[in-house]
Amino acid sequence: MSKNFDYEAICMPLPKENVADILHDNACETIIFDSSLLFDTTFRKDLHSRTHLKAIILVNGEVDYSLRQIISSHADGMIDCTFDMDIIVLIITAVMKGFQCLPKSPLKDVNLNSQLSLLTQREREVLHFVSQGVSNKSIADFLGVSYKTVCVHRYNIMYKLKVDKLSAVSSTEKLSKPAA
């Protein structure tokens, strides 16, 4: 586990029929579960009626529009299992502190240049530094932001560009320069 994770975690794989009990139990503050449970309407009802418990959905790869809508209305956060550990820890920590970590919907079937237009100026700057091999800590120092802020920018870039690793994008020469 990452050195930046300041919470005690207990991992318990549970049978599907026992997960609903956890939603109404005060034994934990946050639950992370597979998105397949969202297809069970009873589970969704229980999840929606929870009071104190934070819910994070675990997905694998691209999420279609209907599942994204369900996740947005029933969860506090979403983690793609392809994310780097630092991003996963950042999302869990943010949700436990009361923030929502649900990515905005990227446009489907658009070319790379259109996807790049989705990036903010700061995200383009971070992408530029990443393409030069600069570490997150050095990027944070140079931009005058926190390390965690750089991790959030990286997460947003990966989600908007629909890539699992920034190296898949940043190796392209045309991406190595931030927009003016």
Tell me the whole-structure pTM to 2 decimals: 0.53
Mean pLDDT of the chain: 74
Tokens for 19?
């997960």
Measured distance between the N- and C-terminal CA atoms of the chain, rounded to whole angstroms: 39
Is residue 162 left, alpha or beta, with left meaning phi > 0 and alpha meaning psi from -120 to 50?
A: left
Say which amino acid occupies 48. H
Q: Report the C-alpha gap between 47 and 162 in whole angstroms.
A: 28
Assess whether pLDDT exceeds 90 at residue 146: yes
**171 vs 78, higher pLDDT:** 78
pLDDT at 13: 65
pLDDT band at 147 (very low <50, low <70, confident <90, very high): very high
Assess whether pLDDT exceeds 80 at residue 109: no
| Phi, psi at 39, each rounded to 5° | -80, -10
The 10s digit of each residue's pLDDT in 24-46 is 666 677 888 888 878 777 777 77
